[in-house]
Structure 1
Amino acid sequence: MDRILLWALLIIGMVLLLFSLRKPLIKDTVLVYLLKAYFSSFFGVIVAGAHLIEYPVRFLGQYFNTSILFEYFLYPIMCVYFYQTSYHSSILGIIVQCALYTSALTILEVLCEKYTDLIEYHGWTWEYSFITIFLLSFFVRMLMKLINKREQSAS
C-alpha cells in the first residue's frame, strides 16, 4: 500500500509541476525549484544521517537514505507554488502564505508518519519539520526577492 501511495504522490507531483511551468516567470520557477531541491537535500542528508528520521519505504532505497521523492520533487514543487502565489505579496503576506504551505506539508508528513511506513521519527518531531520547512521556504523566497531586485536594478 505504501508503494502505491509513493507512486500516487509521484504522479500528483508531475501534474503539479506541469501546471506550474505554464505560468510566466519560467526562469524564476526553475531557479526556485533547483534552490529548494539543493537546500532540502542538504538538510535531509544530515537529518537522515543522524538517524533522526527514517524512511522505511522509499524510492531507490538501496541508494538513498532520504526521501528523494519529497526532497527533490514534492517539496520543491510546493515551494514553486508558494513563490508564484506570493510573488506580489508584502512581507506579511509572504509570512502568512509560508505558514499556510508549511502547515499543509507538516500535516501531510504527520499523517504519513502515523498511518504509513513512509516515515518514522526517531528524535524528530513535527515541530522540527514545521520550523525547518518554514525557514527554508522563507529563505528561498527572500533570496528570490533579492535576486529579482538586483536584476531589476541592473536593467
Structure 2
Amino acid sequence: MDKLILWALLFLGIALLLFSFIRKPLLIKNSLLAFLIKAYFSTFFGVIVVETHTLDYPVRFLPEYFDTSILFEYVLFPIVCVYFYQTSLRSSFLGMVGQSLLYTTALTLIEVLCEKYTDLIEYYTWKWWYSFVTMFLLTMFVRIIMLWVDHNKLSRE
C-alpha cells in the first residue's frame, strides 16, 4: 500500500508541476529556478537528518541508491515552493509569511499523518515541529532569494 501511495504522490506531483507551468506561462523561468533552489537545499537538509538517524524513510523510491525521500526532496517540496512563489508574487512580506505558514502547516500535517499511519516516514528523535520550523525557514529563504532575483531583473529592465 505504501508503494502505491508513493506512485500516486509522484504522479500528482508531476501533474501539479505541469499545471503550474500551464497556469502561469510567463513565470516558467523563475518558477523553475525556485523549484531547483528548493530541491537543492531540501536535499542537503534531508541527508543531514537521515544520516544523524533522527528520522528514516523505510519505504522509498530507489532505496539501494538513496537513504532519503527523493520524492519529497526532489519533487513534492519543490513543487509546493513553486506554488508558494506564484501565489505570493504580489504579497507584502507579512503576506508571504502568512502564506508560508499555511503551506508549511499543510505539509507538516501530511507528514505527521504519514508518520502515524504509513511506513513512508519514521521519527526516532525527530519531532513534528522540527519539520514545521525547517520547512518554514527554507520556504522563506527560497522566497527571499526569489525576491532578490525579481528585483535584479526589474533593475536591469
Q: Which of 60, 72, 75 lines up with 2:74 in the alignment?
A: 72
Cα separation, 2, equivalents of 1:14 and 1:25: 17
Q: Confirm or deny that 1:10 pairs with 2:10.
A: yes
Partner of 1:92 in structure 2? Answer: 94
Q: CA RMSD in A?
A: 0.6
Cα separation, 2, equivalents of 1:125 and 1:54: 12
Give the TM-score, by structure 2 length: 0.97
Task: Name the SS of the counterpart of 1:124 in structure 2.
Answer: coil
Matched residue pairs, number?
Answer: 155
Give the TM-score, by structure 1 length: 0.99
Report the identity percentage: 61
Instruction: Could you tell me which runs of 5 or more consecutive residues in structure 1 were left unpaired when the two chains were aligned.
Output: none
Instruction: Could you tell me which runs of 5 or more consecutive residues in structure 2 were left unpaired when the two chains were aligned.
Output: none
Cα separation, 2, equivalents of 1:150 and 1:72: 27
Aligned-residue offset at 1:127: 0.3
Task: Name the SS of the counterpart of 2:10 in structure 1.
Answer: helix
Aligned-residue offset at 1:147: 1.2
Partner of 1:83 in structure 2? Answer: 85
Partner of 1:62 in structure 2? Answer: 64
Moved over 6 A (4+): none
Comparing 101-110 with 13-22, which one deviates more in the overlay? 13-22
Please tell me the residue identity of whatever aligns with 1:134: F
